Chains A and B, each alone.
Chain A
Amino acid sequence: MPDEKKQFETVIGLEVHLQLKTKSKIFCGCKNTFGGEPNTQTCPVCLGLPGSLPVLNRKVLEYAIKTGLALNCKINSFIKFDRKNYYYPDLPKAYQISQYDSPVCYDGFVLVPQEKGEEKKIRLTRAHLEEDAGKLMHDHNANCSLVDYNRTGTPLLEIVTQPDIRSAQEAYDYLQILKLTLQYLDVSDCDMEKGSLRCDANISLRVMGEEKLGVKTELKNMNSFKAVKSALLFEERRQEGILQSGGKITQETRLWDENKQMTFTMRSKEEAHDYRYFPDPDLVPFVIEEKAIKGIAENLPELPFDKCNRIKKEYDLSDYDAWVLVGSLETADFFEACAKLHRNYKSVCNWISGPLLQEANARKTGISGLKIEPKRFVEIVKKSEDGSLSNLGAKDVLKQALCSDKSIEQIISEKGLAQVSDDATLEKIADEVIKANLSVVEQIKSGDEKPLGFLVGQAMKKTQGKANPKKIGEIIKRRL
């Protein structure tokens, strides 16, 4: 069957390296923060100086277990650390303390929300702890590389999926829900730009229906979720092109070039890796008691899926609305605080997911970065519902409320934004508008109702937008 196009299935597995946001590093007391002057957050231990020894940060293991439980993993009752031996200038001991055959977490899964309330299960092979390496910068002018060891010893949790992902979009969705879950757990900043969450991808293609996995390539150097998706899409097309024309995929590591939007073979020829893992004699094993796991499990926060389902039910909202609200923990919290003050949940939800999040996004912050608390927010929502503020007026008040501590009443009166709804005032305005536009009035009277909107517009203009538009329309109609 020459020339017949084969159907391929894409198989993707992801490895996420997550920096845990403990106060100090994994094996020493150096500050665990991003962005200091080069080589100022280092000590004999994280520099791997001769004679120095590692001691595990208690919080790091706790965060790993917490994350594992949230990702539906089993927790190993006996864990140890191993040395992964390889030479690279950013690795000061020429071995990385990692975990080879006893990861903290194994056999988990992540549910990825799909359309129509469905979900897809991505299985996790394992999540293990290791130390981060330093940062290498290449100076092309001086033809040298520079090493900064500040990042060395930052606690990392490496989360590895099974090859369960079937498309670049699915990979993107998996990363989104993973990040959200991690943010709920408050164990990491999950900031790809700062490298606190990094993702490598393995991708291969196989003929549809076949079980055996194809030859895979490993993609590195993606620094956003979007880049992961683009790199996978590119690689999917590249591999398909090769396979369709009868070629073979070379197993290799490829680097994503964000500017060119392409993947490239690494220039350095990788030698066959032989990491010579063996148990690190400088660290003793850790026995994790059932009791300790239970203690951590009991203190897990409500996770996105559970929160979404509860919010849907409790406030009678749609799947879409609920996901928007749980899209960040502070949004969900804000909503629930508002819902306590005002029972029109749908309206509160709309005002949050619409105007409030727009303002937050415009300021590149979350809701907590805005200067508004549930009480004042709900007041605005209520005033828009009962007609004392127009829709536009309410949005205006919200904007004002975000830049001051003033009460809503004060903002409305200062700006004169109160909607005019009292009949006497409106009737007076209606009369004035009618008098000034007699020809239009004639037109309406002859049966053409279209210009009515024009008259309402004139009334609004006269009141600088404060007239209740619905009401003034009714009054004008009545008066004609």
Chain B
Amino acid sequence: MKLFSLTAHEILDLLKAKKVKAEDVVSSVKERIDSVETRVHAYARVFETREIASEGNENLFPIPIAVKDNICIKDNETTCASKILKGFKPPYDATVIAKLKGAGAVFTGNANMDEFAFGSSCETSCFGPTRNPWDLERVPGGSSGGSAAAVAADETIWAIGSDTGGSIRQPAALCGVVGLKPTYGLVSRYGLIAFASSLDQIGPITKDVRDSALLLNIIGGYDENDSTSVDTPAKDYTKSLISDIKGIKIGIPKEYFIEGIDPEVGLSVKAAIEQLRSLGAIVKEVSLPHTEYAVATYYITATAEASSNLARFDGVQYGLRSIPKEQRKNPIVDMYEETRNQGFGLEAKRRIMLGTYALSSGYYDAYYLRALKVRTLIKQDLDKVFGDFDAIVTPTSPTTAFKIGERMDDPVSMYLSDIYTIPANLSGIPAISIPCGFSKNNLPIGLQIMAKAFNEEMIFKIAYTYEQNTGWHKKRAGI
């Protein structure tokens, strides 16, 4: 039995039964990293020392976990896969890290990502691209591509990522694992290096739905350090893992099955929907009329916020500082401009400039304000459907994993790979991606399930029922 291939809940059972020790699991995962990491490159940095909390405490989860490189771990270099944060060691723990430490988590390393989470392919990392464990010529998706690839390649038992426009769900879909974007406000953002503050959310990337619920139990909950954290009573999400969806009303948005969708993805998702129907769900077609505006709305609001969030990377306090040889404007401005020119990659520059433009005098109303208004329309579409339905089921991504380099020169086509995942961020609702089949090329296909805000239970229930009745999640990447 290879311990690294197990899920967290399987390992916890073995630990409880005293059939294995935490250090066996940790060394198994370490060996796995040693054997496949050079090919997958899921990590920005692999940790050498891995402390294991004392055993014997029933409530501990001494499970190896990969942490996306944009979540602060005290005194540990955290760079968002950007040159500009080279050497930055935050003097504090993100709230989710503090919670994980409290639960006895064993950190395997920082998972690779698109620079500042700007991307859907993990190709914009300053550490170079992560490869999809199912096909090393292809991208793992992004931006949490490292987290998803690490889970898919068994280089960790589970992982956390962040999702601003699909950055957990899309790579989960492309890597054949389970990725959850919780409701905005459920998981503290304190210590998550912000991309777009009104959209970002940390969430679990796991091998199955039970692990997703378990990990959410650990990282979720109110945090007084995050003004946008919602003070709701703690829940045990494993309680909603019941294989029964009889009578549950599921809406299928017709706008999601038209242009641009890969026929193989369409077929798999439709088959999954039929399966849900046969399991007792009431499935009906619904309309989300403003779907076609979601990507544009997202790119304006997200880049506007990002342009401001990333302004602090100026070489003054931490990270890279670069001073040009010859004076251009004045000493301090030259330092800013050169540091940011050297420190940011091309996509980061594009997005910062797009966001700056959208907020700048004369364009604010036409771009930023208008996008916030369309955001209202997109949210209203979803609210309306949730008035009558318990969940919405869609493909996670219009295509399976694409080839490395294929979309790098065409930002708009890259942006469109998030078309199905963006609406959940714009409206704050929870959404999961679970495996629902494979293409002829043996590439995973993801199914997205969305529910009302703070109704993660509904998502887990449907996802669990589907998973238990299909078993796609058991298929492992043959690396």
In the assembly, what is the distance between CA of A83 and CA of B356, in Å?
A: 13
A50 touches B312 (CB 8 A): yes
A89 touches B308 (CB 8 A): no
In the assembly, what is the distance between CA of A92 and CA of B70, in Å?
A: 19
A44 touches B311 (CB 8 A): no
Tell me the minimal C-beta distance from B388 to chain A in angstroms. Answer: 29
Which residues of chain B are within 8 angstroms of A278 by Cβ–Cβ distance?
Answer: 304-305, 308, 359, 364, 368
Which residues of chain B are within 8 angstroms of A52 by Cβ–Cβ distance?
Answer: 92, 190-191
A274-B90 contact, Cβ under 8 Å, with A85-B308, A282-B228? no
B360 touches A47 (CB 8 A): no
Which one, B3-11, B33-41, B146-154, B193-201, is touching chain A?
B193-201
B359 touches A276 (CB 8 A): yes
Q: Digitize A261-296: 1 where CB-to-B-CB distance is under 8 Å, 0 elsewhere.
A: 000000010000010101001111000000000000
Which residues of chain A are within 8 angstroms of B224 by Cβ–Cβ distance?
Answer: 55
A284 touches B228 (CB 8 A): yes
Which residues of chain B are within 8 angstroms of A44 by Cβ–Cβ distance?
Answer: 90-92
In the assembly, what is the distance between CA of A47 and CA of B364, in Å?
A: 28
Given contacts A53-B227, A95-B308, 12 further A-B contacts (CB under 8 A): A50-B80, A50-B313, A51-B90, A51-B94, A52-B191, A53-B228, A85-B307, A93-B312, A94-B314, A274-B360, A276-B360, A282-B228
Which residues of chain A are within 8 angstroms of B13 by Cβ–Cβ distance?
Answer: none
Residue of A nearest to B301 (CB): A281
Residue of B nearest to A87 (CB): B336
A281 touches B197 (CB 8 A): yes
Tell me the minimal C-beta distance from B207 to chain A in angstroms. Answer: 27
Which residues of chain B are within 8 angstroms of A48 by Cβ–Cβ distance?
Answer: 312, 317
Q: Does B361 contact A (CB under 8 A)?
A: yes
Which residues of chain B are within 8 angstroms of A53 by Cβ–Cβ distance?
Answer: 189-190, 225-228
Which residues of chain B are within 8 angstroms of A284 by Cβ–Cβ distance?
Answer: 227-228
B308 touches A282 (CB 8 A): no
In B66-90, the 8 Å CB interface with A consists of 70-72, 78, 80, 85, 88, 90
B197 touches A94 (CB 8 A): no
Q: Digitize A118-147: 1 where CB-to-B-CB distance is under 8 Å, 0 elsewhere.
A: 000000000000000000000000000101
Q: Does A56 contact B (CB under 8 A)?
A: yes
> A51 touches which one: B193, B308, B314, B361 (CB < 8 A)?
B193
The 10 closest A-B pairs by CB, nearest first: A94-B311, A281-B198, A276-B359, A281-B197, A50-B193, A51-B191, A51-B72, A93-B312, A51-B193, A274-B361
Residue of B nearest to A55 (CB): B227
In the assembly, what is the distance between CA of A56 and CA of B330, in Å?
A: 36
The B interface, classified by DSSP as helix, strand, loop or mixed, is loop
A50-B314 contact, Cβ under 8 Å, with A278-B308, A283-B227? no
In the assembly, what is the distance between CA of A281 and CA of B198, in Å?
A: 5
Candidate in A50, A55, A93 with the most chain B CB atoms within 10 angstroms: A50
Which residues of chain A are within 8 angstroms of B227 by Cβ–Cβ distance?
Answer: 53-56, 282-284
Which residues of chain B are within 8 angstroms of A282 by Cβ–Cβ distance?
Answer: 194, 197, 227-228
Residue of B nearest to A54 (CB): B227
The A interface, classified by DSSP as helix, strand, loop or mixed, is loop
Q: Does B332 contact A (CB under 8 A)?
A: yes
Candidate in A53, A83, A87 with the most chain B CB atoms within 10 angstroms: A53
Q: Does B271 contact A (CB under 8 A)?
A: no
In A17-55, the 8 Å CB interface with B consists of 44, 47-55
Tell me the minimal C-beta distance from B182 to chain A in angstroms. Answer: 17
Q: Does B273 contact A (CB under 8 A)?
A: no
B360 touches A87 (CB 8 A): no
Q: Count of B residues near A, CB < 8 Å?
A: 46
Q: Does B378 contact A (CB under 8 A)?
A: no
Can you report 18 A-B residue pairs in the complex whose CB atoms are below 8 A from each other? Answer: A44-B90, A49-B90, A49-B91, A50-B88, A50-B193, A51-B191, A53-B227, A54-B227, A55-B227, A89-B314, A94-B311, A94-B314, A95-B308, A145-B332, A276-B359, A276-B361, A278-B308, A284-B227
Which residues of chain A are within 8 angstroms of B189 by Cβ–Cβ distance?
Answer: 53
Q: Digitize B298-319: 1 where CB-to-A-CB distance is under 8 Å, 0 elsewhere.
A: 0000001101100111101110
In A89-105, the 8 Å CB interface with B consists of 89, 92-95
Tell me the minimal C-beta distance from B370 to chain A in angstroms. Answer: 13
In the assembly, what is the distance between CA of A76 and CA of B211, in Å?
A: 47
In B350-364, the 8 Å CB interface with A consists of 356, 359-361, 364
Candidate in A55, A147, A274, A278 with the most chain B CB atoms within 10 angstroms: A278
Candidate in B71, B88, B361 with the most chain A CB atoms within 10 angstroms: B361
B311 touches A85 (CB 8 A): yes
> A276 touches which one: B198, B308, B330 (CB < 8 A)?
B308
In B333-373, the 8 Å CB interface with A consists of 333, 336, 356, 359-361, 364, 368
Candidate in B194, B198, B304, B312 with the most chain A CB atoms within 10 angstroms: B312
In the assembly, what is the distance between CA of A316 and CA of B8, in Å?
A: 84
In the assembly, what is the distance between CA of A85 and CA of B310, in Å?
A: 11
Tell me the minimal C-beta distance from A47 to chain B in angstroms. Answer: 7
A51-B316 contact, Cβ under 8 Å, with A276-B359, A281-B197? no
Candidate in B78, B316, B364 with the most chain A CB atoms within 10 angstroms: B316
A51-B192 contact, Cβ under 8 Å, with A44-B91, A274-B360? yes
In the assembly, what is the distance between CA of A87 and CA of B225, in Å?
A: 26
Tell me the minimal C-beta distance from A419 to chain B in angstroms. Answer: 68
Tell me the minimal C-beta distance from B200 to chain A in angstroms. Answer: 9
A276-B356 contact, Cβ under 8 Å, with A48-B312, A51-B193, A53-B189? yes
Candidate in B305, B308, B364 with the most chain A CB atoms within 10 angstroms: B308
Which residues of chain A are within 8 angstroms of B364 by Cβ–Cβ distance?
Answer: 276, 278
Tell me the minimal C-beta distance from B319 to chain A in angstroms. Answer: 9
In the assembly, what is the distance between CA of A52 and CA of B409, in Å?
A: 33
Tell me the minimal C-beta distance from B160 to chain A in angstroms. Answer: 14
Tell me the minimal C-beta distance from B164 to chain A in angstroms. Answer: 12
Tell me the minimal C-beta distance from B185 to chain A in angstroms. Answer: 10
In the assembly, what is the distance between CA of A284 and CA of B189, in Å?
A: 14
Tell me the minimal C-beta distance from A41 to chain B in angstroms. Answer: 15
Which residues of chain A are within 8 angstroms of B318 by Cβ–Cβ distance?
Answer: 49
B72 touches A268 (CB 8 A): no
In the assembly, what is the distance between CA of A50 and CA of B190, in Å?
A: 9
B90 touches A50 (CB 8 A): yes
Which residues of chain B are within 8 angstroms of A49 by Cβ–Cβ distance?
Answer: 90-92, 317-318
Q: Digitize A281-314: 1 where CB-to-B-CB distance is under 8 Å, 0 elsewhere.
A: 1111000000000000000000000000000000
Candidate in A87, A276, A284 with the most chain B CB atoms within 10 angstroms: A276
Which residues of chain B are within 8 angstroms of A51 by Cβ–Cβ distance?
Answer: 70-72, 90, 94, 190-194
> B311 touches which one: A54, A87, A274 (CB < 8 A)?
A87
Residue of B nearest to A45 (CB): B225
Which residues of chain A are within 8 angstroms of B191 by Cβ–Cβ distance?
Answer: 51-52
A89 touches B90 (CB 8 A): no
Q: Digitize B225-255: 1 where CB-to-A-CB distance is under 8 Å, 0 elsewhere.
A: 1111000000000000000000000000000
Which residues of chain A are within 8 angstroms of B70 by Cβ–Cβ distance?
Answer: 51
Tell me the minimal C-beta distance from A99 to chain B in angstroms. Answer: 15
> B317 touches which one: A54, A56, A85, A92 (CB < 8 A)?
A92
B72 touches A50 (CB 8 A): yes
In the assembly, what is the distance between CA of A54 and CA of B226, in Å?
A: 7
In the assembly, what is the distance between CA of A54 and CA of B224, in Å?
A: 10
In the assembly, what is the distance between CA of A138 and CA of B449, in Å?
A: 57
> A83 touches which one: B78, B90, B308, B333 (CB < 8 A)?
B308
B192 touches A47 (CB 8 A): no
In the assembly, what is the distance between CA of A75 and CA of B316, in Å?
A: 38
Tell me the minimal C-beta distance from A145 to chain B in angstroms. Answer: 7
Which residues of chain B are within 8 angstroms of A94 by Cβ–Cβ distance?
Answer: 308, 311-312, 314
Which residues of chain A are within 8 angstroms of B72 by Cβ–Cβ distance?
Answer: 50-51
Candidate in A54, A89, A92 with the most chain B CB atoms within 10 angstroms: A89
Which residues of chain A are within 8 angstroms of B90 by Cβ–Cβ distance?
Answer: 44, 49-51
In the assembly, what is the distance between CA of A87 and CA of B305, in Å?
A: 16
Tell me the minimal C-beta distance from B183 to chain A in angstroms. Answer: 15
Tell me the minimal C-beta distance from B465 to chain A in angstroms. Answer: 35
Which residues of chain B are within 8 angstroms of A281 by Cβ–Cβ distance?
Answer: 196-198, 228, 305
Residue of B nearest to A43 (CB): B92
